[in-house]
Each structure stands twice: as C-alpha cells, then as structure tokens.
Structure 1
Amino acid sequence: MKYIVEIFNNRPFVVALIGWFVAQGFKILTTGIRYKKFDPERIMGSGGMPSSHTASIVAATVQLGKLSGFSDPVFGLGMVISFITMYDAANVRMAAGQQAKVIKQIVEQLGRSNFQIEKELKELLGHTYLEVFVGMLLGILIGLWY
C-alpha cells in the first residue's frame, strides 16, 4: 500500500495521467461535435484532437522542469522523449493510418475472400500537426497548473 501512495505522490506521473484524461475527454467532445454522435472508441482510442500521448508526456516534462529545474538533465531527457512522441504521432503513426486506409481499399477492390483478415485495420492511429500542437499546449498548461 505504501508504494501505491508513493506512486500517486509522484507529481510528473500524476500530471501525465491528468493530461491523458483531459485530452481523451476533449477527444470525446470534439468527435461528438464533429460527427453529432457518441463514439465509445474515443474513450481509449488513439488519434484525434488533441493528442493525448503528447499532452501526457509534455505535462510530465514540464512538471520535471518545475521540480528539478529546467537545466536539469532529467528535464532534458523529458524534452527528448516529448519530441520523439510528437514526431511519432504526427509522422509515423499518421503514415500507418494512411497505409491502413489504402490496404482496406485494396482488400475491398480485390474481394475480402482473397485475404485472411483476423482483425480490422484501424485508420485513425496518428495525428495532424494541429492535433499534436494542441496536445502540446494542453500538456504545458496542465504541467504548469499542477
């Protein structure tokens, strides 16, 4: 029990969780407004506005800077991880989502019976630069606020 209390007293960890929950909440709202319906996939799903991965890691990184100092090597490492996360969200995962869309089109054109499909491919994996940017701003605000 002691360790659980210690974990939840870890401010960078707590702000990362808050960043994730707030971003996922915004995803539910923005999807509902855009498509006029509730999409339960948005509760835990990747992709969409804003980037919850970005909001989480940036909030934790800002908190590390506040606690350890912005010249501390731990803050620097957090910055590197934040940039990798943002690059991955906007480039690698976005490309994977676009590839999934093309693969689905090919499968439909050639007929589903010609392929062994174990699990449907997800198209909404990555983020636009705007979604990543908004996730970063959200992370900065949460990290500074807490």
Structure 2
Amino acid sequence: MQANDIEAVAAVEKAAAEFPWPQSQFEESFNSDHHCTVLEVEGVVLGFSVFSHAVDESTLLNIAIYPDIQGKGYGRLLLSSGLQTQQQQGAKQCFLEVRVSNVSAKKLYGSLRFDVVGMRKNYYPAKAGREDAYTMCCDLSDNTLVVV
C-alpha cells in the first residue's frame, strides 16, 4: 500500500463493510508498523489486507474485496500472500476475529487452516446492537501454508 492508495482502500472498505473503518484508521495503520497490502488490477484498487505483527504472533486486522468481485479468489490470494509474509517475518501464529454470521469469511479462513479458538461476546457493532465474533488462529510454525 502506498499513501495515495488510502482513499481507494477506504472506498473499498465502505462498499464492503456495513460498519467500515474510517479513512483515518487506514492512515494510522499505514503510518504504523502494520503490513498493509492492496490488490490492484490495471491501476484500480480492488481489495486490501492489514496485518499487525509482534514478536512471533500476527493478527489480521482487516481484509476486504470490492463487493462486485467477491467470490473469485481475490480474498484468498490476499490472505494467503499476507500469511506467507507474516510467516517469513517470524510469526508462528496468526489470529483474527470474524463475525459469527459471516459464513463466507469463515469458510475462507477455514480453508487456509484457521481454527476457532474462542469467542468474543458483543465484539462487533450490528444493526440490532452488537454481534459476537469468533477468534480464529492459524498455525504458521510448520511451513505448510495453503498457497493459491
């Protein structure tokens, strides 16, 4: 991700998420030590991922693909690539939270060896109050990541 991508990334997030991160959150991630990646085709930002990394653990903070092209493998490509990068930087595990209701994301994460390891009650904002999230974890220590 480059600084000039942040506005487009925020637009993808706004299109893809019911409760999107504000542009300022992407700016903060970009200006920190987070690993921010964009998926760009012919100069158009179609998706992004944001990982944090500390010691031997990483966390997927956010990932999204523009809604019109979801389901075509772009999210899998971004996530797989991000996990490989985290692994190369010494991460032994990667964690994430996912809405309990997000069936397609849970399927993607499961296909890349994420397992449910906990639940966070009332973690996400929702139209009717709050929604629970599963905490999921992927073991990166054995060098057998599923690659696209």
- Same structural fold, with TM-score higher than 0.5 when normalized by the shorter chain: no
Report the structure, 1 or 2, having the larger strand content.
2
Structure of greater relative contact order (alpha carbons < 8 Å, 6+ residues apart): 1
Report the structure, 1 or 2, having the larger helix content.
1
TM-score when scaled to structure 1? Answer: 0.31
TM-score when scaled to structure 2? Answer: 0.31
Larger-Rg structure: 1
